[in-house]
Structure 1
Amino acid sequence: MNQPGPALEAMLRRLRETPAEFLAEPRIGSCTSAAGVAVSALVHDLMRMHGHAAPARWLAALGGLDPRARRNRLALAMITCWLLADAWFLARPLPLEALCAVFDSATPLLAQATAAHRFAADAADGEELVRVVLARLGYRPAGEAAAQAEDRLAAVSGAARRRLLEASRAAEKRARAVREALARKAAQEAADKWTRE
């Protein structure tokens, strides 16, 4: 976060104004007849706008393994493309490695914790996306000192980690309840069988 970047409010406004096309359903899989937006093409176009050709192998691996997680990751990649197509970023073509890092590590991590469309609709989630993307690119919001930007990034990223941890705990609680219910049912069936004999 060595260099001053765009104004945070301008980036948040851009997120709020995300066009419907960037909020549409992403295409899952490589079938060209499938419905939805071809996210790899969108990312490729963004990279061309910044003067790069995205490696084909990298574009092919853009999704996750679990279909639900892949959908959210791809939806967030679409929103991130809209953010990075801002005139401020296009005036300073970004290095290919930095752009790949945004889509390789930043968006998957954020997509694990939050539904993609919340980043465009919710100011706090939008701030998290903007700050994480700027940090991956080596920028900080305009008007903030490096230490202030790092502190604020840690604060908003901490909130995402807490949400992910809470979701993980809730899933474990549900799984434990299912295991206990299955164990009770098996015990009841064994007792019923014993009484019949």
Structure 2
Amino acid sequence: MSPALHRHPRFISLEGGEGAGKSTAINAIREALHARGHEVVLTREPGGTPLAERIRALILTPDEEVAAEPLSAEAELLLVFAARAQHVRQVIQPALRRGCYVLSDRFTDSSYAYQGGGRGLEPEWIADLERRAVGLLPGLTLLLDVDVAVGRARANGRDLWPDRIESEQDDFFQRVRAVFRQRAAQDPARFRLIDASQDQAGVAASVVAAIDAWLAQEHPRD
């Protein structure tokens, strides 16, 4: 039997497509948690440890820059989970044991959206890897949702040299968005959907309001 997933109340993830404004939202969340007296560990995926950051470079470097060998969808998924397994054990779990809040820019929901929805890999395979290699769910996931055309216009104005993922076509990102929204609908206790079509101040206010509501709830002790 595969291991069960443990949902941790001090683990918060931020998800969304390209150009959704995650950087602004993460800074607002971190400041809100600090203001309320909580120690926060801010991290990201893929990455978060020296080894995982090296794997991130393999995943995101455009194929034409790493010889004539495109990265397969299956290899991409396994690399993401290799980085995540290291990240969970070296950064996330130790921080949670210390009593910190952990705020991660992306987590396993991105694998369902990008490698599952975008690349077409089976969600059952992703779920098995999640149970065996990760074993952890955020207690709260904030999904920044924005129309693909709007998000891509923002990203194109920001990124002069797009990475492998950012270089995909609109239909790829439409599938990514659909899976994110589907997962949010299936797990409303964990997800909070944030309208990321707002300006930066509006998105920041929305995520802080979601954090305040989350902190006001009673969470079980570990």
Bigger helix share:
1
TM-score (structure 2 length as normaliser): 0.25
- Higher relative CO (Cα under 8 Å, sequence separation at least 6) belongs to 2
Larger Rg computed on CA atoms: 1
TM-score (structure 1 length as normaliser): 0.27
